[in-house]
Each structure stands twice: as structure tokens, then as C-alpha cells.
Amino acid sequence: MSAGTLSKSRRAGRGLEQLVVRGLALMAGLLGGGYVLGLLFLVLRGGGRLAGFTAYPTPLSDIDGESTMRIALGFVLFGGAAWVVDRSIVTVLDRLKAGSRALRRGISIGLFALTVVLAVALRDHLPRFLISLPSETTAGGGIGPQIFNTLYFAVLSTAFTLPVGVGAAVYLARFAPSRRLVTTVRVALDTLASLPSIVYGLFGFLVFVVQMRAGYSLLAGAFVLAVLNLPLVVGITEDSLRAVPREVEEASLALGATQVQTIVRVSLPYAWPGILSALVLSVGRVFAESAPLIMTAGTTISRANAYSLDPMRGGETLAVHLWYVNSAGLSPDKADVSAGTAAVLVLLIALTNMLAARLAKLGGSEGPRVRRATK
């Protein structure tokens, strides 16, 4: 066989390999995206009406155990097939960028297609469910105030956590007079991080509701959540500041900048992706917490000021509403409302975690920001 023929055969083989990898990666992406949403479908509704408001005519109560097991087995086999396909090509994907691009394309197409299907199925009920007021005794209530309160809690708690957490991290990383003090503060923060959230709730209840007699309020709940998130924000921010190259800070000091100017214009911009990641993770924890808010913000809403910005009013979040509906709900469709609330809550937490992971990967882009800040 001549050298030219051998070269053509190798090129044809590589082309065929890339074609197969693209096809397998696209299939893995489609299966993976479908499996994730399918598993969420199974967990939330067991094969019945997703979030209680899809077009499927069969309610959960009419599905027997055998059908449920068949559905569960189908999802397990479906997910297993996706895993096998993914594992079989993972080493090839590491070598071929085309396969990696095809995998991402398959995931995007699969998620987009399933999102379109869900949007069509939910088009008649989802907007009303997301913006209307909850109902105590009749069917058809929504979670509009709960979504608003959840986002409002995130804003209020971040307003407390950001200056205190970043300030404490800057002090520990740059101004602490001794190593012993840093170790002591870290031990205290680790102790706070290990406490159950109900302990923070009891602390807020005793201070704000009992001693100060301020009653249940969003402000009390936001303060408790801010204290709850302080160890997380301080720890990640301190690590991000210590990861700043010493040469960058020394160059700023050599140009005549003070230590404070160096921290503000060089160190903090360099560590900003890590700080943002910590804040986003703390927001995700705000979305998920219920016990501290039950003790400090209450479990009811006022229909007159359900969307008020007054921080001294009480209110419940999605997590608290989910607990309340399942434990003391009286509406006939409380199972559907509970499933819908859980779906929205899971989606919010997943989006915040994805955003935090995305921000954590931006560590390589801080150089240009530092250069612009030092000009």
C-alpha cells in the first residue's frame, strides 16, 4: 500500500471516528437532558400531573403501585442507557473537541425540546399559579407572594451578608495582627457553620419576637439568614483573597498605592469571581431554608400588602409555604399546590447553583479587570 493511500485511509478513519463521536455525543446529550427532567418529573409527581397543572388526565391517586414501579423502572433503564453511552465515549471526548461540542449541543437540544413540551402543557395554568394569591380553603390558589418574599429575603439577607462577610474576610486575610486570632475566628466560624438552622431560628425568635417584641417580620428573618450565611461567605472570600498572587499586590504597592487602595482596586477585583460565587451560594441557601423563617417571619401573608416592601411585615417563602401546605393545608388541591411549589423551589435552587458553578470558572478572567482597575 502506498503512502498516499495509507494517508487517505487514516484521514477517512479519523473522519469516521469524529462522525461516530458526534453521533454518540449528541445521543448522550439528548438522553442525559431527558433523564434529568424525567427524573424530576417522577420525583415530583410519580408519573401523574407534573406540578398538578399539566394536561395529563390521570391523577396520582389513580395510579396503582404496579404502574408506578413500571414508570420508575423505565426511568432507571433510561438513565442507565444514558450513563453507558456517556461513559463509553468520555475518553474520546477528552481528545476530540468535536465530540465535546456535539455533547453540549445534544444537551441543549434535549433540554430545549423538553422545555417546549412542558411549556405547551402548562400554558393554561402556569401563569396563574405563579402570580395569584394562595387559597386557604378553595382550589386554584397560587404562590405569587411566596415567590416575591423568597426573592425579597435574598435581597435583604445579601444586603447584610455582603459588607460584613467581605469586611471580615479582608481583615482576616490582610489585617489580622496574629495567626492565633485568625485561627480563633476560623474555629468560631466553623462552629457557627455546624449549628442546625433551627438554632438560628430560636435565637431570632428569642431576640426579635420575645425580647424586642417586634413580632414576626421579614427583617428578623433576613438578619437570621445573614448570620447563617456568614461562615460560608467569609470562608470563600478569605480563600479567594489569599489566592491573589503576591506579585500583583506588590506591584501596586511599588507604584505608590496604599494597602487599602491595593485591596480595593487590585485584590477585590481579582477575587471577585469567588466572592460572587459565595454570594450566589448563600442566596441558594436562603431559598432552601424554612426552619429559621418559621420562627422569625411567620407562616402567613396579608392579602392587603402581599407584595409590600415593608420589611417589618410577616411573610412566608416558598420553602415555608411547602411545609405549611403539607402540614396544615386545607385546600382540596393541596397535593398539587405542594408539588408545584416544590418544582419552582427546585428550579430556583438549581439555577442558583448553576450560576455559582459558572462564576467559579471565571477565575481566569480577573487579570484584565485588575489591569483596568490599576490604570
Cβ neighbour number for residue 41 with a 10 Å cutoff: 21
Cβ neighbour number for residue 178 with a 10 Å cutoff: 8
Q: What is the pLDDT of residue 315?
A: 84
For the record, the C-alpha cell of 39 comes out as 427524573
Give CA–CA dist 157/173, Å, rounded: 23
State residue 298 phi and psi, 5-degree precision: 90, 180
Q: What is the pLDDT of residue 299?
A: 78
For the record, the C-alpha cell of 24 comes out as 454518540
Nearest CA-CA partner of 237 in 283, 168, 155, 156? 168
- The letter for the amino acid at 179 is R
Burial per residue of 63-99, b for 16 or more beta-carbon CB atoms within 10 angstroms, e otherwise: beeeeeeebeeebeeebeebeebbeebeebbeebebb
Q: What is the pLDDT of residue 367?
A: 43
Q: What is the pLDDT of residue 312?
A: 85
Rounded alpha-carbon distances, angstroms, from residue 193 to 158, 199, 222, 228, 234 = 17, 11, 17, 7, 11
Q: What is the pLDDT of residue 372?
A: 38
Q: How long, in residues, is the chain?
A: 375
Q: What is the pLDDT of residue 234?
A: 92
Q: What is the mean pLDDT of each run of 10 residues along the chain (375 residues)?
A: 55 55 55 52 44 40 50 54 54 53 62 66 70 79 86 91 91 85 88 88 88 86 91 90 88 87 88 86 87 85 77 86 82 80 83 74 48 38
pTM: 0.66
**Residue range 187-237, pLDDT digits in tens:** 888 888 888 888 998 988 998 888 888 888 888 989 999 999 999 999 999
Spell out the domains of the chain, with CATH numbers in brackets. 3-124 (no CATH), 144-373 (1.10.3720.10)
Q: What is the pLDDT of residue 351?
A: 80
197 and 132 in contact (C-beta within 8 Å)?
no
